[in-house]
Structure 1
Amino acid sequence: MFDVADFLDPGDGVWWGQGSAEPEPLVNQVLDAVDRVGPIRAFSGLTWNERLSGDLPEKLTVVSYGGLGQLRSLSRYGRLDVVPCHYSAIPRMFATGQLPNDVGLIQVSAPGPDGLVTLGTGVEYVADAILHTRTLVAEINHRMPATVGGPRLPLSAFAAVIETDRPLREAPAKAGDTVDRAIASNVASIVDDGSTIQIGVGSLPSAVLEALAGHSDLGFHSGMITDGVLTLVEKGVITGARKEIDPGVVVTGAALCTSDGYRRLGEHPVEFRAASYTHAPAVLSRLGSLVSINSAIEVDLLGQVGAELARGVHIGAVGGQVDFSRAASLTGSRSIIALRSTVGSGEQSQSTIVPALAGGVVTTARVDVDAVVTEHGVAMLTGCTVAERALRLIEVAAPEHREHLERSLAEQENR
């Protein structure tokens, strides 16, 4: 058994795959080695590794594009350095050394008959980062499915490997409620047959996918795939027949599924591509049927979207939201922001439609949003004046908060 510390020098930068493809045994080795080697600067994406939520070695600096999964705890304690960026910019930042790129830790599938491994369920930024990384170390997980579309690598590409046989991290099991289903129904009502869908993960996106079950000939091009997408493929809803590029193919960068979903991946025309393809403006501009469906923390009366900060803590990211929203609005079909009209309950209830963004940061500009959807309806914003946009947004806010929003609007207009 090797020690990752053997490949680290003081001041090195380390990155690793995210989500279901995070090589947690190797990451944990780095955490154990930092005090001996440090200082180390590490780049992590979405993680559920509990060790990245608590006390970290003082010599370790964690960098990310947002506060996803356990990283929001690091943000809360001031231990997370966020690089705000479009997801499409990450490949270039690895290429230029703006993100740590001395040592890369990746989880791969077992070698195939040709002796090559795949990047499994985490192609995305990994496929771009490996091109600019000095040393690669791999976890060969015998439960990682071999996937199609991404790089295939010989074992000689790695300075060292470990072999494991452990289950992949699964999507958190949180079923959608009546509010999620109401929002999903409203979203589905403005998605045309033949659209190419981009959508995220979580209870609301899952509900939206279920609500699209009555549609036909949908396509899929997104940063991540879930069980809900596979189900629509199996039902004949997602066919990709009308996609302008990659017809008949489900294009994704990563997968976040249940164990059954990971097993089913190989049964369908799913291709995993690098972030430099899935999120590239030049690629997305060719999808005239693109409908982006993204979530938010809050939306102000101008239609500006906040999806990163809550009470000063990073709980989200710019991620691919702007990449897809801008493409869908400019050269695609429609850009949709879907969110619950309130957070909290009872007297603690707060409106997510707000006079001004409480987080103070605009994630997605108002000009890149065609529709804002809550459980109370659809606010179509394209072509509306500033005043008309505000009125339409108030109409889909929670009824108990509309009077306050109307007063705030009147005060803004009288200034």
Structure 2
Amino acid sequence: MSAQDLYRQKLVSAAEALSHLRDGDTIVVPTGVGEPPELLGALSEQRRRFQDVKVCQILPVRKFGYFDPETSAHVRHLAYFYGAASRAGGQAGWIDFIPSYFSEMPQLIERGLMAADVVFAIASPMDAHGYFSLSLGADYTMAAIARARVVVLEVNPNVPFAFGNCHVHISQLAAVVESEAPLTEVGLPKIGPVQEAIGKYVADMIEDGSTLQIGYGGIPDAVVMQLTAKRDLGVHTEMIGDGILSLVEAGVVTNARKNYLPGKMVATFALGSQKLYRMLDRNPGLEIHPVDFTNDPYLAGQNDKLVAINATLQIDLLGQCGSESLGPVPYSGTGGQVDFVRAANRSRGGKAFIVLPSTAKDDSISRIVPTLSPGTHQTTGKNDINYVVSEYGVAQLRGKSAKQRAAEMIAIAHPDFRGELREAARRLHLL
């Protein structure tokens, strides 16, 4: 039977595709805009007919109907990483989460440590050979497809066909659903003077020929804005967004001096504008791969001058980062921060930056603290930390003693808090 015949045979409505679901199933959905709105919308409408169905995902961008505490016994979200749609439920306790390094999620699925009974994902139209592209999120989804009982793709002509290890054949599918809805766009965060100041410190330390990993947020994008005078930058990242697109358009990103996959940008998911999504389509200079490839510290670290830029919420005087919770209250997740800090540490000439404003709540709280707040979920640890950057400067902690670290961290804290930080450091025998 031809690929086209198989496609026609498997084409159903979103509501009909739900017939493949069983009570107790775990549905795996790609990161961000890789989520399939028709399928998840139909699931929301019919959620009361199911029992104990879990929808697992990093960073949902739409708040579907099953984000509802009243029906969580029927269908509920299970977070790999909290976003705006899921954060309130996680903080209220009716949404649970699974802590893990982003790079290890495919392995956890392959070994059966994380369930993957069903995959729902958005995909490009099928090519002449019967393949679809999961260009917006290969992440952990490719591993889930290999293990799942049921795979359903929502095919949308607005989804680009990207190269890389992100392709699924029609023979692997239980059903196909069609949609023509515009893809969700996620704009760049707002950038203020604090973000600009931090961005300048980081940008000044990025050399020509560096390879970039840039996380999402105002400060990483503030760095990107100040890189337009650099030359021959490369990209090996988890997320490709509009900040990187702007560097490509400026001719700054050439990938010519990368050691690993030279000439290619590498990412595991895309999050941005329609213009960004169009750039992914059959672009020979870009590949989308699963996250155990993109975020593997050994592979990424083969690029010389790998620069990793990620944000944190709070950091202590030893350099321990609380990047995913406010005390014990969950806020985001581990993601790929540690993966790329370790990758940059392995890289010859690599630099791992953790960035943060020095204060929060209108300068009433210092984000640089003697010890992390009780219950904080530690992300990057003291043995991995490299550069820490606030609007007051740069602290380089790698290879430094505890007392040296405390002095460096106090020097980049807000001036209003340096006195009490020194007193606390003395009590901790760090000064």
Question: TM over 0.5, yes or no?
Answer: yes
Residue 300 (structure 1) aligned with residue 313 (structure 2): no
Unpaired segments of 5 or more residues in structure 1?
none
> Please, which of 169, 177, 186 is the counterpart of residue 171 of structure 1?
186
Amino acid at match of 2:102: Y
Residue 283 (structure 1) aligned with residue 296 (structure 2): no
Amino acid at match of 2:143: D
Task: Show CA shifts across 1:161-186 (max 9, x none).
Answer: 21111121222443211111111001
Pairwise mapping of residues 366-385 of structure 1 onto structure 2 (< 5 A)?
Answer: 366-385=382-401
Amino acid at match of 1:225: I
1:236: which partner in 2?
251
1:69 Cα deviation after fit: 2.9
1:190: which partner in 2?
205
Contact 1:61–1:81 (Cα < 8 Å) also in 2: no
2:378: which partner in 1?
362
Say which SS state the counterpart of residue 44 (structure 1) adopts.
strand
Contact 1:338–1:373 (Cα < 8 Å) also in 2: yes
1:227: which partner in 2?
242
Unpaired segments of 5 or more residues in structure 2?
1-12
Contact 1:87–1:319 (Cα < 8 Å) also in 2: yes
> Please, which of 375, 391, 394 is the counterpart of residue 410 of structure 2?
394
1:55 Cα deviation after fit: 3.5
Pairwise mapping of residues 245-284 of structure 1 onto structure 2 (< 5 A)?
Answer: 245-266=260-281, 269-284=285-300
How many equivalent residue pairs? 413
1:234 Cα deviation after fit: 2.1
Residue 344 (structure 1) aligned with residue 357 (structure 2): no
2:169: which partner in 1?
154
Distance 1:44 1:101, change over 3 A: same
Residue 132 (structure 1) aligned with residue 147 (structure 2): yes
What is the CA–CA distance in structure 1 between the aligned matches of 2:102 and 2:246, rounded to whole Å?
A: 27
Amino acid at match of 2:328: G
> Please, which of 340, 345, 350 is the counterpart of residue 329 of structure 1?
345
> Please, which of 22, 28, 43 is the counterpart of residue 15 of structure 1?
28
Is the deviation greater in 267-276 or in 230-239?
267-276
Residue 87 (structure 1) aligned with residue 102 (structure 2): yes
1:53 Cα deviation after fit: 4.5
1:13 Cα deviation after fit: 1.5
What is the CA–CA distance in structure 2 between the aligned matches of 1:183 and 1:339, rounded to whole Å?
A: 8
What is the CA–CA distance in structure 2 between the aligned matches of 1:65 and 1:128, rounded to whole Å?
A: 15
1:26 Cα deviation after fit: 1.1
2:6: which partner in 1?
none
Contact 1:109–1:146 (Cα < 8 Å) also in 2: yes
TM-score (norm 1): 0.94
What is the CA–CA distance in structure 2 between the aligned matches of 1:240 and 1:56, rounded to whole Å?
A: 50
Is the deviation greater in 154-163 or in 364-373?
154-163
Contact 1:53–1:73 (Cα < 8 Å) also in 2: no
Task: Show CA shifts across 1:136-169 (max 9, x none).
Answer: 0111111111111133333332211211111212
Contact 2:99–2:333 (Cα < 8 Å) also in 1: yes
Task: Show CA shifts across 1:167-207 (max 9, x none).
Answer: 21222443211111111001112222211111111222111
- Shift >6 Å, 4+ stretches: none
Aligned alpha-carbon RMSD (Å): 1.9
> Please, which of 232, 250, 262 is the counterpart of residue 217 of structure 1?
232
Task: Show CA shifts across 1:257-305 (max 9, x none).
Answer: 1112222333571111111210123312422321111100011000111
